Structure 1
Amino acid sequence: MRLGIGGCVAALLAAGLVAAPATAAASVSVSAGSGPQYDFAGAIRETVWVDTGRDGDGDGQPDRVAADIVRPAETAKAGAKIPVIMDASPYYSSVGRGNETEFKTYDDQGRPVGFPLYYDNYFVPRGYAVVLVDLAGTNRSTGCVDVGGESDVNSAKRVIDWLNGRATGYGAKTGGGTVTADWTSGAVGMIGKSYDGTIANGVAATGVDGLKTIVPISAISSWYDYYRSDGAAFGFDPAELAATVEARNGGQDCSAENGKLVEGATANGDYGPFWAERDYVAKAKNVRASVFISHGVNDLNVRTINFGQWWDALAANGVQRKIWLSQTGHVDPFDYRRAEWVETLHRWFDHYLMGIDNGIEKDPMATVERQPDQWADQATYPAKDASQTTLHLQPGNTPGVGTLGTDAASGTTSFTDNAKVGEVGWAANPSAMSPNRVLYSTGELASPVQVSGTSSITVTATPSTSSARLSAMLVDYGPATIRNFSARGEGITTGSQETCWGGNAPGDDACYKVTTANTTKVDYTVLSRGWADLANYQSLSQESPLTPGQPYTMTFRLASTDHVIPAGHRLALIVGGTDVDVITPPAQTPKVTLDLAKTSVLIPLSGALPAHPQAGGLPAGPLAHVSRRAAVDLR
């Protein structure tokens, strides 16, 4: 069922949305912005194949990537130069795009008909062109994917070059006459979720001229941090993803390229040349585009260290930026805050691609979901008054259970790795001794405390065997209602009604199912996680043999977040060995002893912790929680 004008819920009306039937366009009020004035059904739809200058599939011919284009016919007749919104993806014929799994479609002559997502429906009537690029080796492009490497990034970069007259486009996959983009201003904004947003990050890191802004949604900033964490491996590899997205690529032989993926992504978790090629954070100094990030703080697919380290690197380079953080998992903001997202995105593109002075660059930098559907603007991210605070592990009366405070301590504590236990087992019964983890917590908070930014932990650990894994997590102990990010939908429920967002054409409508928050009640919330291989204590580039009984000091990162711990709750640090749901175990699972005087956690905190925390006060027995589920695809 599609919502008619009288069927909108109050929240959508308050946000400026008029939900329209299938034949009309939803309108969002945008101050001094581009309005719907062009006929979407009569828009020009075409495909251009752009020469990438590479021969990834080894067939002796330069690879060509397919760029499917939809643009208003009226602007072409008037000779107007218009900007481009681009989504470069490997998924248009393999796993689909969006919450409703849309694929590209074509007519019997191969002309593009169906463009996934709402970008074309909404923005083409407002004077934009929308260009959807098939990465090399996928859908109608030749060549091979290389999972975030030169081929992937170059696929989109060369289309931007073509839009700016620096590359050659053709009217056919092979042969064909040359085609120029004389209809565009050359200003490009890239957008996309997951793999698509990752490519936007990678292209921005090249500094390509013409790319004015990117909107990476739940995107990777360093592929190492998708597949590895400080030396620890997550148990899945790039070659698997390549095989998935190349499944319908027209028969190219990509076995040689896929072999390079297997060889480069070493199983031991070391950071080497393969990962350096796919590390956009290291190249952030090249970014000239503005950046609007969206990420779920409970995203267990593209973990949040990816947005945190990218954000910090962009900040160091003075890049204009904005961020939305939701309580969801791997979810597009169109599917958890639709009206506000479309309005904000419209203003963002209008400003950075059309040069419209609408003031969006002066809006609060960050917008954070504090509780399901309850949002707060924040002047900066991390929060302006959040300061890096060192907390120490202090022993209590129960072995392996103590307090977390600002005073240094002495002594040791230990746990035995058990590769069959992980986060849920460690967090349960927080007042009790556990053989497989140690747990240290603050006293009950007298006032709220905010964790805003990226934390890290430094351990001095002595393993009983020659190999060891370490896991750590920050936990908010106390009752809460949260988005059920581990359920199907990762925090949203998809209904049957639809709202429509732009113009319609045969085979390409603008209507999408309404979603609502899927919530659950819990007794604790994990707000940050991190993993490491102790053998990488000296360097991530090469692990070092461990001598049983010898202490080693290592610092590793915990995931980026923005989370308010309410008064009456407690903040806890849990340290264990192999996290069964996430990392691969060592050859021999050791007993690990921590030197408390040389072990601490560094947390960006705003607010006061108890001056003299007392052990105890945590709940005993099983606790309500959200069970994690494996998430290893990049949709």
Structure 2
Amino acid sequence: MEIRARGARWSCRTLVAAASAALLGVLLAPAGAHGAARATPPAKVSKPTYSYADAIRESVWVDTGIDADADGRTDRVAVDVIRPREPAWQGRKIPVIMDASPYYSCCGRGNESQKKTYDADGAPAAFPLHYDNYFVPRGYAFVAVDLTGTNRSDGCIDVGGRSDIQSAKAVVDWLNGRARGYGSRGGTDRVRAGWTTGATGMIGKSYDGTIANGVAATGVEGLKTIVPISAISSWYDYYFAQGAPLYDSGPDWLSGYVESPEARARCQTVQQRLIDGAPRTGDLTRLWSERDYVRNADKVKASVFAVHGMQDLNVRTKHLGQWWDALADAGVERKIWLSQTGHVDPFDFRRTAWVSTLHRWFDHYLLGYDNGVDREPMADIERAPDQWSTDRVWPPRTTDTTTLRPGKGSAPGVGTLGRTPARPGSTETFTDDPRLGESDWAADIDRSTPAKSGFLTRPLSHDLRLSGSGTVTVTATPSTSSAHLSAVLVDLGPDTIRDYGATGEGITTLTERTCWGPSTTADSSCYRETTARTVDVGHTVFSRGWADLNTYASAGHGRPLTPGKPYTLTLELAASDHVVPAGHRLALIIGGTDQGLIDPPSTTPTLTVDLATTAARLPLVGGAEAFTRATTGSVPPHSSPRETPHNGVAEPRRTPPIPGDRT
């Protein structure tokens, strides 16, 4: 429950009463056969009955079983635990919520960059985020794990590799009696987790959520659920888009950024392995294969509650789409929230609903309560700032991959988009200009410009919804030996959206605070509120895909192009869920370097696109029939196109290669 941090101070008893009243309202059932109203018992819910102030706070070092730094001793990871004292007195065992992170000392967690703190005796005093304050009084333990090579752990950071994943998996094993824990970093005093049921739920944003994905992909017993927020599913796809580099650095930079000073002194060999195994050519090496969790999605036994910003340009929604589809194929229980934000935690864009939903999710999967959360709609999708819709299944069952074809228009570079293939020999030509990107292309969609080719539908007569992941197959003839391609989908029409390109990536942080559980002098449960940061736009880019044309023959290896020779390559579009309203137009833009989002090739090519063999395969709700319906008939008068200003979203900018919170 949310408690405003102003006015009279609340006693612990008052907080318990208020939270219980809010969460335990009785639902009335429909009248029975004889018309008598019957009360339906409220869904079972964990209540804040335990003392947060008196909770046990302890540190344990868990043996990972590997020696990443090659010092002759297996590495131990620091595990900071907070758990209610009373269940142990009562002989009751409790479940665990766990966040494994490399950021607890270097960078901080959450919108306010919180770090772990310790008292004079070295015992944990402050745990970042609200998970401890809110859930410990409700009968959960919260466990904060320092990945190897960070904060108080041994070993070396491995940027999603074996050491990283084993850091957290070993803790799940320890919680289930399968690994050894110790009361000190180098001591022999064994510590057992006899206080827990072993049922563990992992949660975390970005790097932390990535670790949850990776641990789930091991199939470890005892991991009951994961809640990955803006998480990576394949590290290759974090640094490259089908061979096109997304950043001018690799995993060695990230490793050096988050590792502890002690690790920096002993982990040069691991650093060199990261450099050698991740060449800037974009070749798919063994290092990347080992950091691809999608390939092991069939091992996942945990349920998955995934959250992602559809405008996340740090951990792009390609990660979500390929992970989600693989989990679906494996029959994994799933739930999803998709927001209009960038790289933002749901606690900071939908706080009250998020805490309530997360509470019921953990109650169901960790405590076994039949509260109906598993029978609720699978998907919550933000349609406009703070306006949400739901879907029973995502993507909806009526979604069908539909082929759309670019065609010649009345002016060069301004073509059509429909169902009819272009005539053989139809082409469009553009020259890569690394100074321009998707915002520039979309703003000039109706004009002949040399750096892009755009293809548009007529104004739609009915709404058209795209849901899921699509592809664009392009046949292009380059003038040079190297070339990059971009494909973007654009909703052409006026709208008010979250300003994902600005600082905050769609939110503004306020000064007022709300509290989410009890606090101590060292650990406050009160966090600054946020509000949607919005902007009026004339168009919205809602899905993107990039590739190095040099990978035309092999997704894992580039080779020089022969100027004047045509090559065919399929670009994978990032997952999205977007409704193009009646009166707007759907556009496909094909260009070269998407400025600020991918690096340019080594040359400046001119590319000629063969329209007859180029096609977009898009996930349309209602399929081809929905597209035909939307592109025929009269446009409703209230939604007719009108003059609109240039897109108000700030230019997409290269974010540092740090898949964590902005600090």
- Counterpart of 1:14 in structure 2 is none
- Whether the 8 Å CA contact 1:404–1:441 is kept in 2: the answer is yes
Q: SS in structure 2 opposite 1:123?
A: helix
Deviation at 1:66, TM superposition (A): 0.4
- How far 1:266 moved relative to its partner? 1.3
Q: What amino acid is aligned across from residue 239 of structure 2 in structure 1? A: Y
Where does residue 12 of structure 1 map in the other structure?
none
For residues 158 and 4 of structure 1, the distance between their equivalents in structure 2, rounded to whole angstroms, comes to 39
What letter matches 1:319 in structure 2? V
User: SS of the counterpart of 2:272?
Assistant: helix
Give 2:214's match in structure 1, choosing from 191, 194, 202.
202
1:581 partner amino acid? G
CA separation in 1, counterparts of 2:132 and 2:647? 46
Aligned counterpart, 2:165:
153
Amino acid in structure 2 at the alignment position of 1:175? G
Contact map agreement 1:230 1:536 (CA 8 A) in 2? yes
**In structure 2, how many angstroms separate the alpha carbons of the residues matched to 1:156 and 1:173?**
16
Given that 1:189 and 1:349 are in contact with CA atoms closer than 8 Å, whether structure 2 keeps it comes out as yes
Distance 1:611 1:178 in 2: 69
CA offset at residue 551 of structure 1? Answer: 0.7
Partner of residue 193 from structure 1, selected from 205, 212, 232: 205
Q: Distance in 2 between matches of 1:47 and 1:224?
A: 34
What do the CA deviations read for 1:548-599 (whole angstroms, capped 9, x no partner)?
A: 1111111120110011111110000000011221212222111101111100
State the TM-score, normalized to the length of structure 1: 0.95
The one of 374, 377, 386 equivalent to 2:387 is 374
Distance 1:620-1:79 versus aligned 2 partners, 3 A rule: closer
Contact 1:80 1:183 in 2 (8 A): yes
2:621 matches 1:608: no
Question: What is the CA-CA distance between 1:76 and the residue it aligns to?
Answer: 1.5
Per the alignment, residue 488 of structure 1 pairs with 503
Structure 1: which 5+ runs fail to align? Answer: 9-18
Whichever residue aligns with residue 515 of structure 2, its letter is C
TM-score computed with the length of structure 2 as normaliser? 0.91
- Would you say 1:261 and 2:280 are equivalent positions? no
Residues 430 and 619 in structure 1, CA contact (< 8 A), matched pair in contact too: no
State how far apart, in whole Å, the 2-side matches of 1:77 and 1:223 are.
Answer: 45
**Structure 1: distance between partners of 2:510 and 2:413:** 46
2:238 alignment partner, one of 226, 239, 249? 226
Match of 1:407 among 400, 415, 420: 420
Q: 1:242 aligns with which of 249, 255, 259?
A: 255
Query: How far apart, CA to CA, are the structure 1 residues paired with 2:644 and 2:193?
Result: 66
Shift of 1:384: 2.3
Q: Distance in 2 between matches of 1:379 and 1:513?
A: 33
Aligned: 1:473 with 2:488: yes
1:252-305 Cα shifts (integer Å, max 9, x gaps): 511111111111111111222111101001110100000000000011110001
CA distance in 1, matches of 2:318, 2:511: 35
Gaps of 5+ in 2: 25-42, 635-639
Equivalent residue, structure 2, for 1:13: none
Q: Is the 2:500–2:649 contact (alpha carbons within 8 Å) kept by the matching residues of 1?
A: no
Partner of 2:406: 393
- Cα distance in structure 1, aligned partners of 2:449 and 2:523: 56
Measure, in 1, the Cα distance between the counterparts of 2:239 and 2:643.
35
Using the TM superposition, give the Cα deviation of residue 153 of structure 1 relative to its aligned residue in structure 2, in angstroms: 0.3
Distance 1:596 1:220 in 2: 34
How far apart are the structure 2 equivalents of 1:321 and 1:621?
A: 40
The answer on 1:29 being equivalent to 2:23 is yes
> Which moves more between the two structures, 446-455 or 52-61?
52-61
Once the 2 structures are TM-superposed, how far is the Cα of residue 237 of structure 1 from its aligned partner? 1.3
Label 1:175 to 1:572 Cα distance change in 2 as closer, same or farther (>3 A).
same
Aligned pairs for 1:316-355 (under 5 A) are: 316-355=329-368
Aligned residue among 100, 105, 108 for 1:88:
100
Q: Provide the C-alpha distance between the structure 2 equivalents of 1:596 and 1:559, rounded to a whole number of angstroms.
A: 22
Does the CA contact (< 8 Å) of 1:372 and 1:519 recur in 2?
yes
- Note the alpha carbon deviations across 1:224-274, whole angstroms, 9 max, x for none: 111111111112311111111114456651111111111111111122211
Aligned to 1:634: 659
2:544 paired with 1:502: no
Q: Paired residue for 1:443?
A: 458
Cα distance change on mapping 1:523 and 1:620 into 2, 3 Å: closer
CA-atom RMSD in angstroms: 2.1
- Partner SS state of residue 608, structure 1: helix
CA contact (8 A) 2:536 2:647 kept: no
Superposition deviation, residue 612 in structure 1: 6.6
Partners of 1:113 and 1:301 lie apart in 2 by 32
1:249–1:500 CA distance, 2 compared to 1 (3 A) = farther
Quote how far apart the aligned CAs of 1:79 are.
Answer: 2.1
- Identify which of 573, 577, 580 aligns with 1:565: 580
**Cα distance in 1 for residues equivalent to 2:650 and 2:434:** 20
**8 Å contact kept, 1:239–1:261:** yes
After superposition, the Cα gap between the structure-2 partners of 1:125 and 1:576, relative to the gap in structure 1 and judged at 3 Å, is same
Tell me if structure 2 keeps the 8 A contact 1:104–1:114. Answer: yes
Partner-residue secondary structure (3-state), 2:363: helix
CA distance in 2, matches of 1:178, 1:437: 64
> Which residue of the other structure, out of 271, 278, 291, is the alignment partner of 1:278?
291
CA distance in 1, matches of 2:272, 2:523: 38
The separation in 2 between residues aligned to 1:573 and 1:583, in whole angstroms, is 18
Q: Does 1:517 align with 2:532?
A: yes
C-alpha distance in 1 between matches for 2:557 and 2:335: 36
What residue number does 2:604 align with? Answer: 589
Closer/same/farther in 2, CA of residues 578 and 21 from structure 1, 3 Å limit: farther
For residue 127 of structure 1, report the CA deviation from its aligned partner. Answer: 0.5
Return the offset for 1:383.
2.1
Which moves more between the two structures, 420-429 or 517-526?
420-429
Kindly indicate whether the alpha-carbon contact (under 8 Å) linking 1:350 and 1:356 is maintained by their aligned counterparts in 2: yes
Deviates most, 73-82 or 311-320: 73-82
SS at match of 2:163: helix
Tell me the residue number matched to 2:58: 46
Residue in 2 that maps onto 1:103: 115
The equivalent residue for 2:301 is 288
